[in-house]
Amino acid sequence: MEVRGIRECKDCGTQWSYYETGSPACPACGSLYSVGISDRALHTDRPADLDLTAAIDALADGDDRAAGDAAAETARTYVHRRGFINAGELQPLSATYIAAHEIRHVAALLDRATPTGIDGETVDREYVTALFEAASEGRRPPASAVPESMIGPRGLGVADAIRDYHDGLKTWLDGTDADRDVDSYLERLDSHVRRIRALDGSIDPAEGERLLAAARSLGDYLANGDGDLQAVDEALGAVT
């Protein structure tokens, strides 16, 4: 949506940036009555933190269900609030956002799996702990650290993040006068996303990283307005 990011409170006169707070309430007095004093800009992003302390603590206590519930709620809220256009500027696909999507799938696994497995499902708690801790710091475990039992959630998280970024790129293109023909690249990304979801995420984690590199390269190309698409071609060409 397009918003006037700089607001002025009608009650106390305070000026603030909606882009930074993500709230229509005046930060000084709490009033909801304000007027926009800047030009409108496309904006889909709101501030959010991925605080997984409660989930990490529950996992350490051996309460998988509580850990899954806490992680799912935190990740769901984070993904819901964050977007890829801030004050008209296209944003990169962050490691935190990708991890949040993976955590949503890991949380579902925690909710239904046991140490001995239910219907063949098991959870690698060491990896889950590493994922939660890394995500809290804006990182993700490397592809080489993903155990076989966690390949599905990892792949589905990658697919969901790329799907959202794909949609964000299209929204940005539709809302700007950028003259860049990238439809074929967007279609290729979408095709890979659908393939990964059809496989229930069961792809080589390294392949997922190559696909993420392609999505990020496309975002860089659009955001910077210069360069070429060679990096996108190379990244997509490396995906099987």
What would the DSSP string read from start to end of 109-169? HHHH--TT-BTTB---HHHHHHHHHHHHTT----GGG--GGGHHHHHHHHHHHHHHHHHHH
- The two tokens of residue 114 are 């046991």
Strand partners, 90: 85
Tell me how far apart the alpha carbons of residues 235 and 231 are, in angstroms, rounded to a whole number.
6
**Amino acid 118: pLDDT:** 43
What's the pTM value of the predicted model, to 2 decimals?
Answer: 0.88
Tell me how far apart the alpha carbons of residues 239 and 189 are, in angstroms, rounded to a whole number.
10
Contact 46, 123 (CB under 8 A): no
**Amino acid 31: pLDDT:** 93
**Amino acid 226: pLDDT:** 64
- The two tokens of residue 208 are 């997922």
Q: What values do phi and psi take at 120, rounded to 5?
A: 85, 5
Q: How does pLDDT run along the chain (240 residues), one tens digit per residue?
A: 788 888 999 999 999 888 888 888 999 999 999 998 888 889 999 999 999 999 999 999 999 999 999 999 999 999 999 999 999 999 999 999 999 999 999 999 998 765 544 454 678 999 999 999 999 999 999 999 999 999 999 999 999 999 999 999 999 999 887 767 899 999 999 999 999 999 999 999 999 999 999 999 999 999 987 667 887 888 888 776
Contact 93, 215 (CB under 8 A): yes
Tell me how far apart the alpha carbons of residues 10 and 189 are, in angstroms, rounded to a whole number.
46
Strand partners, 141: none
**Amino acid 113: pLDDT:** 64
**Amino acid 179: pLDDT:** 67
Q: What is the dihedral of CA 3, 5, 6, 11, to 10 degrees?
A: 60
**Amino acid 13: pLDDT:** 92
Contact 135, 96 (CB under 8 A): yes
Tell me how far apart the alpha carbons of residues 69 and 75 are, in angstroms, rounded to a whole number.
10
Tell me how far apart the alpha carbons of residues 165 and 162 are, in angstroms, rounded to a whole number.
5
Other beta carbons within 10 angstroms of residue 69's beta carbon come to 17
Contact 218, 207 (CB under 8 A): no
**Amino acid 120: pLDDT:** 46
Question: What letter represents residue 81's amino acid?
Answer: R
